[in-house]
């Protein structure tokens, strides 16, 4: 009789920072019912992976979960996979963190479930050829990647079985190819289709194995799947059909298979991920071209022939496509160095082997949860609360590392480093309450401002930019989903969560940092500025400022950073030389910064100037009544952070967070006209296209004229305090 080995793996994960209600829904609609089904069918053997963030939630909120899972492991029905505890992309975090996170999950599985894993789940299947060496200290022997990785290495359909051996600098790892046909069929096609495919692949020798491995959220959480998988009993039918054919379909775990059968051969895979990820990593225009090429090849019947030679970008391209992602990534690397430097003393080094690890290290590792660093079909980077969770943990880790090194003594420190690795220096200023990062090479702007007592990055906003999928909105190429119908893979769905999203498609030509300096044309309007389609007459917004000096005084109680740009105001009659100096002042003992501007006309004649200072700040929720504006001395009816409008005579504006208990205030002198509007993006997620509040744009602006060599001063002050 011809037989086949089926290696069935399910990966379950919720990212750090996701809403409590999502974890609950995940249990009720997906993880719980799936576990129920597995318990009812002891002959259905499979491999499971749970990320550490999900395991910790389940342990705390579903106390019966771990004992139930432990029982499944004990009876040999379930093998468990290790991996990075908080689901990092292992190739893109420091090796000591990669090994530390794997060791942490290894210890958790051993202590809580009495299981020593041999393999690991590779987050997002983001593979790098150096991984065998990276994970070697953990002692793990295998991982699972897509068949696309193997196709890019020149292997064919006939080779997508069993496992292969790869190595780097002599460190060995077994790798299993996930069969794409099964990944797309389960659970969206009838169980019989899987049975027929397995029958086709079965051999007389019975040595071949086919791997299925994919997200557990397909079984109940993806749109339309709960009704299909559980109410329509797809999962029950699938398991029963497998059980009916166990005479020739052998359910093995991955470690059992590697123990019984040698590798199919040797394979060296290029850096890759699954097909969709590499397409998402492309710049918008390239992604559109790639999408059109794939459609044309499919229409012409040539796609399968050329598929092995077609690939998008690589995961690193997200760091180019989204500078906010690059900033997040490089800040993480910087904090990692800081934390490990602080933990070098022997007692702390010993604690690194404990569960849980030292608080600074745990916060760092939680900040390496990958979902907020990129964007594709899932919201990812576009979800401000996921970015907030990363920043909150980075701020916490950094502050704990400082306390470990220096104690609680109040200090005011600065550092000049190339934080974002663009060969241009940034200036990092910290005290116990405030963390600031200035970028002279981009408008002399403030690119990060942390209120450290709350672990809150106030400048955590996202620039509005085109995405390849925006053309579906413009062309109204949207799907619909009816109750009870067979669901489609989310890769084939295009749903809209609200009407009129195409009207919200606006794109910025500069990064939405703070203390950006504008010179407006006389006919600029509020709506033009809101749409970022206004006349800009200056060359200051995204251009380089010179770092003139950094100076401490008053026994290091104050620190000043002076930036200067020799720029210009460009009118029809030519350029008017115009200099802008701005001096940032920080204090040791308070969460306050003052910025004093000096504008000098070096032209030969008097010139009229419309000058504006732009701030981009966030408290995460635009319509939450607990997070709102205050306008002292002014009567403003709509005080939501998502409100829009122009306010004359504004001297002070406050952003208050009553939920977390703090307030941010900005004072301007002389009083200015203030424009405000919400910064909103349109992005896709697994549940459809959605508009997301990223922050609020605040523009303080003044009209005045300057004679030759005349100067004008504009002081602003920003402060944070608990309430």
Rounded-to-integer distance, Cα 41 and Cα 29, Å = 19
Sign of CA dihedral 538, 543, 544, 550: positive
The first and second tokens of residue 603, run together, are 């032209």
Rounded-to-integer distance, Cα 538 and Cα 519, Å = 5
Phi, psi (deg, nearest 5) at residue 221: -100, -30
- Taking the CA atoms of residue 396, residue 399, residue 403 and residue 408 in that order, the dihedral angle to the nearest 10 degrees is -110
Instruction: Compute how many other C-beta atoms are within 10 angstroms of the C-beta atom of residue 286.
Output: 16
Phi, psi (deg, nearest 5) at residue 268: -115, 115
Rounded-to-integer distance, Cα 633 and Cα 696, Å = 21
* Of 167, 180, 118, the residue nearest 266 (C-alpha): 167
Look at the block and give the residue holding tokens 């906010």. 324
DSSP output for 324-350: HHHHHHHHHHHHHHHHHHHT-SHHHHH
Strand partners, 692: 681
* Of 446, 391, 445, 454, the residue nearest 565 (C-alpha): 445
Which residue among the candidates 39, 157, 167, 215 is catalytic per the annotation? 215
CB within 8 A of 705, min separation 6: which ones?
606, 607, 608, 609
* C-alpha radius of gyration, the chain, whole number: 28
Strand partners, 711: 600
Rounded-to-integer distance, Cα 444 and Cα 566, Å = 12
Instruction: Compute how many other C-beta atoms are within 10 angstroms of the C-beta atom of residue 453.
Output: 18
**Catalytic site residue 124?**
yes
Q: Which helix (H) or strand (E) holds 600?
A: strand 592-601
**Could you tell me the CA-to-CA distances from 650 to 102, 419, 602, 638, 646 in Å, in that order?**
53, 35, 29, 15, 10
Rounded-to-integer distance, Cα 95 and Cα 564, Å = 40
**Could you tell me the CA-to-CA distances from 541 to 91, 122, 244, 536, 545 in Å, in that order?**
35, 41, 68, 9, 10
Burial class (CB in 10 A: 0-12, 13-18, 19+), 652: middle
The first and second tokens of residue 17, run together, are 């920072």
The first and second tokens of residue 71, run together, are 């029982």
CB 110 within 8 A of CB 90: no
Rounded-to-integer distance, Cα 492 and Cα 495, Å = 10
CB within 8 A of 255, min separation 6: which ones?
79, 118, 119, 141, 142
Look at the block and give the residue holding tokens 């995460």. 620
Which residue among the candidates 56, 124, 557, 596 is catalytic per the annotation? 124
The first and second tokens of residue 492, run together, are 């084939």
Where does residue 688 fall: left (phi above 0), alpha (psi -120 to 50 degrees), or beta otherwise? left
Rounded-to-integer distance, Cα 332 and Cα 420, Å = 10
- Report DSSP state, residue 42: T
**Catalytic site residue 418?**
no
Q: How many residues does the chain have?
A: 723
Rounded-to-integer distance, Cα 660 and Cα 223, Å = 33
Please list the active-site residues: 124, 215
């Amino acid at each position: 009789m011809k037989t086949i080995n089926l290696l069935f793996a399910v990966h379950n994960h919720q990212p750090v920072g996701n809403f409590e209600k999502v974890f609950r829904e995940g249990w009720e609609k997906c993880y719980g019912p799936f576990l129920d089904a597995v318990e009812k069918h002891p002959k259905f053997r499979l491999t499971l992976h749970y990320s550490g963030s999900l395991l910790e939630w389940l342990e705390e909120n579903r106390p019966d979960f771990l004992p139930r899972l432990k029982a499944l492991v004990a009876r040999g029905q379930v093998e468990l996979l290790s991996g990075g505890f908080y689901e990092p992309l292992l190739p893109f975090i420091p090796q000591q963190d990669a090994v530390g996170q794997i060791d942490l999950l290894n210890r958790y599985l051993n202590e809580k479930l009495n299981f020593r894993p041999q393999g690991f789940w590779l987050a997002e299947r983001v593979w790098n050829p150096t991984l065998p060496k990276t994970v070697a200290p953990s002692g793990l022997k295998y991982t699972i990647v897509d068949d696309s990785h193997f196709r890019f290495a020149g292997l064919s359909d006939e080779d997508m079985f069993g496992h292969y051996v790869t190595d780097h600098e002599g460190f060995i790892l077994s790798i299993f190819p996930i069969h794409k046909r099964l990944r797309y069929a389960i659970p969206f096609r009838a169980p019989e289709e899987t049975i027929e495919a397995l029958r086709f692949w079965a051999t007389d020798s019975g040595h071949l194995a086919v791997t299925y491995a994919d997200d557990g959220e397909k079984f109940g959480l993806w749109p339309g799947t709960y009704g299909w998988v559980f109410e329509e009993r797809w999962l029950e039918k699938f398991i029963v059909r497998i059980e009916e054919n166990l005479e020739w379909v052998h359910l093995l775990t991955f470690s059992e298979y590697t123990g019984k059968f040698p590798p199919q051969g040797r394979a060296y895979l290029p850096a890759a991920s699954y097909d969709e990820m590499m397409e998402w990593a492309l710049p918008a225009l390239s992604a559109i071209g790639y999408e059109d090429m794939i459609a044309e090849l499919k229409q012409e019947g040539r796609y399968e022939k050329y598929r092995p030679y077609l690939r998008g970008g690589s995961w690193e391209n997200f760091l180019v496509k989204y500078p906010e992602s690059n900033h997040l990534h490089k800040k993480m690397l910087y904090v990692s160095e800081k934390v490990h430097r602080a933990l070098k003393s022997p007692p702390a080094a010993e604690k690194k082997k404990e569960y849980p690890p030292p608080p600074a290290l745990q916060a760092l590792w939680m900040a390496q949860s990958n979902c907020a660093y990129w964007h594709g079909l899932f919201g990812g980077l576009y979800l401000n609360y996921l970015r907030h969770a990363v920043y909150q943990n980075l701020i916490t880790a950094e502050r704990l590392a400082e306390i470990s090194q220096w104690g609680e003594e109040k200090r005011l420190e600065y550092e000049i480093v190339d934080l974002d690795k663009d060969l241009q220096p940034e200036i990092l200023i910290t005290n116990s309450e405030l963390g600031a990062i200035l970028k002279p090479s981009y408008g002399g702007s403030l690119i990060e401002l942390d209120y450290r007592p709350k672990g809150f990055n106030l400048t955590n906003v996202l620039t509005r930019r085109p995405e390849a999928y925006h053309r579906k909105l413009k062309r109204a190429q949207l799907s619909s989903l009816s109750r009870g119908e067979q669901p489609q893979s989310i890769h084939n769905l295009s749903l809209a969560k609200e009407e009129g999203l195409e009207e919200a498609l606006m794109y910025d030509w500069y990064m939405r940092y703070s203390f950006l300096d504008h010179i407006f044309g006389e006919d600029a309007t509020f709506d033009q500025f809101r749409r970022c389609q206004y006349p800009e007459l200056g060359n200051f917004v995204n251009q380089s400022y010179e770092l003139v000096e950094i100076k401490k005084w008053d026994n290091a109680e104050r620190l000043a950073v002076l930036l200067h740009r020799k720029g210009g105001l460009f009118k029809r009659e030519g350029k008017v030389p115009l200099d802008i100096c701005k001096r940032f002042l920080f204090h040791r003992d308070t969460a306050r910064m003052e910025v004093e501007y000096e504008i000098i006309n070096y032209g030969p004649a008097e010139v009229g100037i419309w000058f504006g200072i732009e701030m981009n700040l966030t408290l995460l929720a635009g319509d939450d009544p607990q997070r709102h504006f205050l306008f002292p001395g002014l009567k403003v009816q709509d005080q939501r952070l998502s409100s829009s409008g122009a306010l004359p005579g504004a001297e002070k504006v406050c952003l208050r967070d009553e939920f977390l208990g703090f307030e941010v205030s900005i004072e301007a002198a002389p009083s200015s006209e203030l424009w405000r509007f919400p910064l909103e993006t349109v992005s896709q997620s697994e549940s459809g296209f959605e508009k997301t509040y990223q922050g609020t744009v605040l523009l303080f602006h003044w009209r005045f004229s300057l004679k030759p060599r005349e100067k004008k001063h504009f002081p602003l002050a920003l402060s944070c305090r608990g309430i």
